[in-house]
Each structure stands twice: as structure tokens, then as C-alpha cells.
Amino acid sequence: MHKYRTHNCNELNLKNNNEKIILSGWVNKKRDHGNLLFIDLRDNYGLTQCVVDKNKNFFSKLEKLQLETVIKIEGKVVERSKDTINSELKTGQIEVKIESFEILGECKELPMPIFTDQEYSEELRLKYRFLDLRRKKIHENIILRSKVIEFIRTEMTKYGFLEFQTPILTSSSPEGARDFLVPSRLNPGKFYALPQAPQQFKQLIMVAGFDKYFQIAPCFRDEDARADRSPGEFYQLDLEMSFIEQEDVFEVVEKLFVNIFKKFSNKKLKYEKFPQIKYEDAMLYYGTDKPDLRNPLIISDLTNVFKRDDVKFEIFKKLVNSGSLVRAILTKNTKDKPRSFFDGIDKWAKEQGASGLAYFTFEKNNNISAKGPVGKLFSEESLKEIMKITKAEIGDSIFFSCGKINDLENIISLARDKIGKELGIINEDEFAFCWIVDYPMFEEDKSTKKIKFSHNPFSMPQGDINKIDYNNPLNIKAYQYDIVCNGVELSSGAIRNHIPELMYKLFSIAGYEKNEVDQKFSGMINALSYGAPPHGGIAPGIDRIVMLLANEKNIREVTMFPMNQNAEDLMMNAPSEVSPNQLKELNLALNKKK
């Protein structure tokens, strides 16, 4: 017989009736009747009720056990009487009569309860993560994560991809996020950087001729945390393919995602062929490049309406004259919504820092009119034009806001989410994927007014590369794409620029000299000069995929040992100070701020 167990805590049933068995696990719950004691024994797999009465001489010892003590019990499986069956347990038709027991792991008084639905502070959970992870919900989330990763590996292998590891100690790169640095002992004064992503390596793998690569890759970026963004590290399904176009990447990823989400969630997929939305259109219709397509609301541009003489909305007209835009959200058949609904949205918008959201409802008695505080400022003709632009009908309402393009897109996008939620028109039981395509290659830095890469400097510009208009860099589009699900950005990818001359040219637009590019990206630019295949890829975030599947709003709920917002590991006490000797070996001196 096995030393610790013959079965796990989720597998005994009537078929085992009368068998002598051994179970090991944690004391999940005790129910002490004085002369009769029930113990729910828990392991990774489930619960089994064990029972003992006062006739056993070890009764009082068992009675005094702390919850969460690890014990081994030997006993006999017995059928429960009909009125004591627990249909909620898989093992609920039987129980185990304890004949002997042994303590395998003592447990001190718990800093927090395990077997409870009660929530407790993040700080406590992270400090005692090993206890927190025993709780059902998060325990299952972590198992889900493992299964998803296993499935991804199997699928990718099936599609002909090879998994490779790439270095964790690499070089710092000037573009992108802040690097984590690691001092080099053998090279005084020099530093490694942890990779923000295996970007250059995966391109080098293509140059090396491996054709299709993937990796569940750790990525390190020293930036501030958010609910959906761990500080420090996260994982990507990094993939890259040679001799392909954008559509080939889409095909692989769509197939993979459809398979993952069908296998691991009961929610419906709104699209199995993911819609492709141009970046420009996304910004116009949704105000963001990560739209939640479960929300049917669409944004329209009404700027020109406010240039008409028969519109008397003077505040907006003035702003429009000085370069602001007006954009609107149409809600269908909301004429009977109470005034408080409309004012509530307006009040909410003001709380978001906007000047508010104006609104009215289209009405018709003899003539078409607008009902609402600012309704009388619109002529019938202007209302007809608005109805045409927004495809409105009588009984519909519009909310509209005016501002400079970035602020306006921001607030109207938030308003679209808010109004959608208020109206209850977002289907929580589905996943709506989409591609955002045709990103601009460059953008203007708001503060410095300089041209910079808007996304990834290694992307291939679109169109005939001999006819690119370098004088108007902001018009250059790239083969650059994002995949978005339910308003969550899962990943960016691109067809890469594998032509060194073209890369120098693009870098020069962003203000990098040739020798600077050679120096900073030496590995890659050099490699591209020795016969590089056309290639491209993408890198979906594993943590966010699991977050969507587990229906969680916080990435720490699907991360086993996360750091807190301050990038500290409260359990391991990281980061920590190091000894003077360690510093000396690394040729480092500290210059601490008080």
C-alpha cells in the first residue's frame, strides 16, 4: 500500500463501499458533536467527509486539530444513509470511518480563514499567498491557467510551430518600456537588461531559417501596474512565421483563439471570423483602438452640423470654430427613459473631467423636434441632418460632446461603455474578438512635437516600398495589428521590416542616425543583411487570456505569485537590500535618496 494515500479526496464513491483506504489532506472543516466528529478532508482534487465517534481512543486528539492541519487517515468507506447524502460533493454518497490517523503537518493559528467566501485584503493575501492559493476560486484559476498553457503548446505544435527558449539576460534597447537592469560582474560598469519581449531573438530565429517559432515567453517591463497589468513580469504567447503575410498570422491566431475559448469557456463567440477594423475607423466609431464590440453603440461625427446657421448651440459652435470636433452616441428607442437617466450620464461625464454630455431625444408631432435641455437650439432641418448622419429614428436619443480630438475620443469612448452598461445592452455571456489593422507607422510626440514610432520600429510599412512618401511620415501606414477581445487588448503584432536600408530610412525619420541604429540593434540589423526571409508574428498576453476565461477583472487572480502595486513580493520580501560584498563584486556603489 502507498504510504500516504490509496485514493485522492475526490474519487471515493459507492463502488468503494467497505474498502479499507488511506487518505491524506488538509482539515478543511470540523463539525464537532461532542461524541461524534465530522472532518472534511481536502486535497487538490476535492473533499471527503470523514467521521469518528467517541469510542475511538484518539477521538479527543482529532477533536483538537487546528483547521488546515495536514493529516493522513486510515479507515473504511461506508455508504451514507439516504437522508445524510450530500449531493453537492462528488464523494457525497459515502463517508470514511476513521480507524487511525497521523499528523503530517501541524498548522499554527491561521492569519486568515481559508474555507470562507469572505474577501480579505490584497496585502494579507499576497503575504500568505500559499494559504490564499488553497482557496477554491483562485486554486481553480491557477489550474485553468496551467491547462490553457498546455493546450496552447499542443495546438501550436500541431500547427507546425517549434518551441524555443531565448535569453533572459540580454541587452538594453532604447525603444519602448523601461528596462530591468542586471549588473555584469565580469564586465564592470556594464549591464544586461531583462527582455521586454523576445522581439529581436524571434526575428533572428526566422533569419536562422526555423520558419515557425513559438514560446510561452516571460517579458519584463519596469512600468507602473494596473489591474490588468502586473508590475515586473508577464507572459506572452510569442510567435513568429516566415514567408507569410498579415492574413496568414490572422488565420493561425483565429484558429487558436476559437479553439481555446470554445474549450475553456461556456460563453459564446460573437465572431468566429474576427472582424478587421482600421485603426482610423476604430478611433472614429469607438473612440479607442480597443473597442468592446459586445456593445452595439456607435459614435458619429456631428462637427459639420455645428457649422450650420440654424443651429444655435453657441458654446459648441465657438469651440468648433477654433478646431474642436463634436461626436455623438445614438441610443435606440430611449424616449421613455426618465430624466434621471440622461442627467445621470451627464453628471458621470462631468466626474470624468469632461464638460459634460449634452443630449436630446427625437420627437415628432407635426414637425420633428428635439426634447431635452438644449433641444430648442436645433432647427428641424438640422435635426433631419443629424438623423441622417446617425441613422436615428423618432424616439431615439443622442448624447454628444465637444472637444479637441484626443480628449473627445477619450470621453466619448468612456461614455460609450458607460451608456452601454446603463442600458444593459452588453451581452456578458459572449466574447467579441476583433483585429485593429492599418496602424500609422509614426505619430507626433505631444510634448516634444517630434516624430516617433507609434508602435514598433521593426514593422513593415504598407504599400510599394519604392513609392513611400517620406515627406509625410504621419501618413505612412504599417502592417501592424492588435487583437482585442471585449475591450481588452490582448496583443500587438506586425509584419516585420526585413530590409536593412528601409529600416535605416524609417529610423532616421524617428531621429536615429545610422550608426546609432547599428549600435543599438546590432544583432538584428546585421542579421538582416545576410539573407532574411519576409516574416511576421504576434504575441498574445497569456495572463489576459486566462483572465478573460476565468471571468476575472484583476490579473493577480490568475497569477500564482504576483507582486503588489509597488512591485514588491510581500511573501519573499523582494526586492531586498544586498550585502556590501555583493555590491563590491559588481563594482557598484549606492547613491540612495533620503
Partner RNA sequence: GGGGGUGUAGCUCAGUUGGUUAGAGCGAUCGCCUGUCACGCGAUAGGUCGCGGGUUCGAGUCCCGUCACUCCCGCCA
> Per CB under 7 A, which of residues 49..68 are in contact with RNA?
49, 51, 53-55, 64, 66-67
Handedness of CA 103, 107, 109, 113 (dihedral sign): negative
Stretch binding RNA (CB under 7 A), from 116-124, 136-144, 375-383, 417-425: 116-124
Q: Which residues ranging from 464 to 493 are in contact with RNA (CB under 7 A)? A: 492
Biggest alpha carbon–alpha carbon distance for the chain: 96
Least Å distance between CB 196 and RNA?
Answer: 5
Phi, psi of 542 (to 5 degrees): -65, -45
Least Å distance between CB 527 and RNA?
Answer: 16
Stretch binding RNA (CB under 7 A), from 204-212, 327-335, 562-570, 571-579: 562-570
Give the Å distances, CA to CA, from 57 to 98, 100, 106. 12, 10, 20
Cβ atoms of 208 and 533 closer than 8 Å:
no
Residue selected from 564, 569, 583, 586 as contacting RNA according to rule CB under 7 A: 564
Least Å distance between CB 405 and RNA?
Answer: 14
Secondary structure (DSSP) of 67-104: TT-EEEEEEEEEEPPGGG--TTSTTTTEEEEEEEEEEE
3-class SS of residue 60: helix
For the chain, helix, strand, coil in percent to 5 are 30, 25, 45
Least Å distance between CB 54 and RNA?
Answer: 5
Stretch binding RNA (CB under 7 A), from 135-143, 268-276, 453-461, 512-520: 453-461
- The reply to whether 393 sits near RNA by the rule CB under 7 A is no
Least Å distance between CB 355 and RNA?
Answer: 17
Secondary structure (DSSP) of 231-293: SEEEEEEEEEEES--HHHHHHHHHHHHHHHHHHH--SEES-SS--EEEHHHHHHHTSSSS--T
CB of 361 or CB of 480, closer to RNA: 480
CB of 385 or CB of 557, closer to RNA: 557
- Burial per residue of 264-280, b for 16 or more beta-carbon CB atoms within 10 angstroms, e otherwise: bbebebbeeebeebebe
CB of 29 or CB of 147, closer to RNA: 29
With CA atoms as reference, report the closest residue to 540 among 126, 128, 116, 253. Answer: 253
Least Å distance between CB 215 and RNA?
Answer: 14
Cα 153 from Cα 407, distance rounded (Å) = 42
Q: Which residues ranging from 252 to 311 are in contact with RNA (CB under 7 A)? A: none
Cα 395 from Cα 330, distance rounded (Å) = 11
Least Å distance between CB 85 and RNA?
Answer: 6
Residue selected from 89, 144, 193, 298 as contacting RNA according to rule CB under 7 A: 89
Stretch binding RNA (CB under 7 A), from 151-159, 354-362, 451-459, 543-551: 451-459
Residue selected from 26, 40, 279, 379 as contacting RNA according to rule CB under 7 A: 40
Interaction mask 200-229, RNA, x per CB under 7 A? ---------------------x-xxxxxxx
Residue selected from 203, 334, 454, 486 as contacting RNA according to rule CB under 7 A: 454
Least Å distance between CB 78 and RNA?
Answer: 8
Q: Which residues ranging from 6 to 35 are in contact with RNA (CB under 7 A)? A: 29, 31-35
- The reply to whether 356 sits near RNA by the rule CB under 7 A is no
Stretch binding RNA (CB under 7 A), from 120-128, 158-166, 271-279, 315-323: 120-128
Cα 409 from Cα 287, distance rounded (Å) = 4
Least Å distance between CB 492 and RNA?
Answer: 7
Residue selected from 21, 126, 237, 538 as contacting RNA according to rule CB under 7 A: 126
Least Å distance between CB 241 and RNA?
Answer: 17
- The reply to whether 433 sits near RNA by the rule CB under 7 A is no
- The reply to whether 444 sits near RNA by the rule CB under 7 A is no
Cβ atoms of 65 and 30 closer than 8 Å:
yes
Q: What is the identity of the amino acid at 350?
A: K
Cα 88 from Cα 577, distance rounded (Å) = 50
Total residues in contact with RNA, by rule CB under 7 A: 71
Least Å distance between CB 229 and RNA?
Answer: 6
With CA atoms as reference, report the closest residue to 360 among 291, 351, 380, 318. Answer: 380
* Chain position carrying cell 518551441: 163
Residue selected from 109, 428, 429, 464 as contacting RNA according to rule CB under 7 A: 109
With CA atoms as reference, report the closest residue to 319 among 348, 284, 293, 354. Answer: 354
User: Nine-digit cell at 117?
Assistant: 467566501
CB of 49 or CB of 331, closer to RNA: 49
- The reply to whether 136 sits near RNA by the rule CB under 7 A is no
Cα 496 from Cα 285, distance rounded (Å) = 28
Stretch binding RNA (CB under 7 A), from 168-176, 204-212, 271-279, 387-395: 168-176
Residue selected from 4, 15, 17, 36 as contacting RNA according to rule CB under 7 A: 36
C-beta atoms surrounding 387 within 10 Å: 17
Least Å distance between CB 59 and RNA?
Answer: 10
Cα 197 from Cα 458, distance rounded (Å) = 13
Cα 403 from Cα 354, distance rounded (Å) = 9
CB of 372 or CB of 487, closer to RNA: 487
Stretch binding RNA (CB under 7 A), from 204-212, 393-401, 446-454, 581-589: 446-454
Least Å distance between CB 33 and RNA?
Answer: 4
